[in-house]
Chains A and B, each alone.
Chain A
Amino acid sequence: MEPWVIETHEIEKSFGSQAALKGLDLQVPTGSIFGFLGRNGAGKTTTIEVLLNIVKPDRGTASVFGVPVTDTRQSVVVRERIGFVSEDKELYPYMTVSQVLRFTRPFFPKWRADLEKRYLDMFRLPLNKKVSDLSKGMRSQLMLLLAIARGADLLILDEPTDGLDPAAVEDVLRELVSIAAANETTIFFSSHQLAEVEQIAEHVCILDRGRAVVVGALDDLKARYQRIQVVVERELESPVRWVDGVEHVRQEGRTISLLVSRNVEAILHQVRSLPGASSEQFSVGLKDIFMETVRNN
């Protein structure tokens, strides 16, 4: 088994003069739940489209299950192993739920009829209703069903909980975790909902303006990143040249807030050298890491 299900190297993609990806490096471990975060327009959907060969990269390489995404012949075979939920949750509006299922099933040799039934019951999807008559939440649920029932080894989910009510979100997240655990399925999902990502992801990548700015195991990141709050005797007249490891600095009057990712001891030593400084260390959550790194860029 390959260590990485998805690997990209220096991917670049522009649409006209607009650069969507600027040298994206990404490695998604096999069997992991991987949260892909970023602001609107950061390049999340473009990355997913590159992985599915919907758009072609201008430069760089990307592979899924070790197969280059631009290998048109092999990537067709690879797509049998991928379940996908698109960002817009658009399906064929002229088909009924039953027709969409009948249409999709034959393409996937490992189709899971048991999961199809389970999610039809769980989501209470009306078989005879046309897709165009479904609410956005129901369309999201149908797309999730179609992705999961493929019996895929990799689920690529673009905002999978978009349009779902809080109870349904909880159900979906729980199901995703159990699918990943039971079938060793890799789940690669993008989301704006940091709480959701924090709840289920083992690894995360924060994307900003087409580049990965933070990548790693969530637990490692949480252990590595800290906030150091410093109160100084009087307001600093000139900005401090901080040692390496300070990701972001916010100063309000005599209070300085530092987000640090490494070199904590050296930073604390520097803090103590400030006139009359007292400091306190805090652990931080994914939201802090996200907000500070994205804002910092």
Chain B
Amino acid sequence: MLWMKNWLETRFRFFMVFTPFLLLIGMGFLQVGHVRPNTLIPAEQRLSGILAIFTLFWLVPGAMLASAGIKTQAPLQATKGLHGSVHFTLSLPVSRIRLLCSRAGLGVLEMAIVILVALIGFGFLIPLQFPELRLPPTDFVLYGVTVFAFDLAVYSLSTLLATFMDDLWQMWGAMLAVGAVRGLTALVKPPQSMDVFQALGANSSLLTHSLPVWPVVLSLAVAACLYSAAARNVRERDY
């Protein structure tokens, strides 16, 4: 039953995230054959540029689909009334951690669906745009794993922020924080093999044909730490 409640609460947000991805891929298909690529630039370089831009898009599912699990939410509408039902939720014989986990479970599932559908689209679109690269399907799977790990870290950050911030602040807070980390990595320049952002762009499996192990491990570790902190906050705080 918690799943039903969570779905009713997150479905608008899910469609708000899902629809732009569909539109983007649809527009990509419409462009095939109409836009002539600049053949002076190597295909790898062109794809690298597109993937770097797409890193920003991968931020959105993680940041938007997360929540504190207990405070209800809906996009772009006044949520005061929704937050009022927190007391009713907390009077149910369900632990706060279970409430958080059920919400996170659904959020991660929604995120996985968005990523999967987008990657299936990519799987058809990129070979059409870059036939010379001859990308095998496994590269897309590895790219999907990288994106999912990155989004899991963003999702956990957004969940942590949602334990003490309101919906919109939580969402923008997560995006700004990741943006700040991106800026920092551009300045500090960590080793390429450790750079999560490079792993989604120039160092992605679509170009290196291998899984960027360390960025994936790092993302998962960060996600675990942030999610534990969120769970601790949810368990301890007053509502």
Contacts and interface: CB of A to CB of B under 8 A. Distances in A.
Given A54-B87, A91-B88, A132-B81, A102 B1 contact: yes
Interface string B83-105: 11101101111111000000000
A82 B94 CA distance: 12
A106 interface: yes
B85 A106 contact: no
Interface of A: 49, 52-56, 72-73, 76-80, 82, 84, 86-88, 90-95, 99, 102-104, 106-108, 132, 143, 146
Most chain A beta-carbon neighbours within 10 Å: one of B9, B72, B81, B96: B81
B232 interface: no
B238 interface: yes
23 contacts: A49-B238, A49-B239, A55-B238, A56-B236, A56-B238, A76-B93, A77-B93, A79-B92, A84-B91, A87-B87, A90-B84, A90-B88, A91-B85, A92-B9, A92-B72, A93-B85, A94-B8, A99-B8, A102-B1, A103-B5, A107-B93, A107-B94, A143-B88
A54 B84 contact: no
A79 B84 contact: no
Contacts of A91: 85, 88
A107 B90 CA distance: 12
B225 to A, nearest CB: 22
A287 B74 CA distance: 44
Nearest to A80: B93
Interface string B180-194: 000000000000000
Given A103-B5, A107-B92, A90 B236 contact: no
Contacts of A93: 81-82, 85
B23 interface: no
Contacts of B95: 72-73, 76
Contacts of B87: 49, 52, 54, 84, 86-88, 90
Contact of A72 (B9, B83, B235, B239): B235
A82 B84 CA distance: 19
A107 B238 contact: no
Interface centre among B72, B74, B238 (most CB of A within 10 A): B238
For the complex of A and B, 6 pairs with smallest distance between CB atoms: A90-B84, A84-B91, A55-B238, A79-B93, A86-B87, A80-B93
B30 interface: no
A265 B23 CA distance: 87
Given A76-B95, A107-B94, A54 B85 contact: no
Given A80-B93, A92-B85, A143-B88, 15 more contacts: A52-B87, A52-B91, A73-B95, A79-B91, A90-B84, A90-B87, A92-B5, A92-B82, A93-B82, A93-B85, A99-B8, A102-B4, A103-B4, A107-B94, A108-B93
B103 to A, nearest CB: 14
B233 to A, nearest CB: 13
A103 B91 CA distance: 13
Contact of B1 (A73, A78, A107): A107
Q: Which of B5, B72, B92 has the most CB of A within 10 A?
A: B92
Contacts of B5: 92, 95, 103
Nearest to A13: B238
B88 A86 contact: yes
Most chain A CB within a 10 A radius of its CB, from B82, B84, B235: B84
A95 B8 contact: yes
A106 B1 CA distance: 8
Nearest to B4: A103
Given A55-B238, A108-B93, A94 B9 contact: yes
A76 B95 CA distance: 6
Interface string B1-43: 1001100110000000000000000000000000000000000
A86 B91 contact: yes
B53 to A, nearest CB: 35
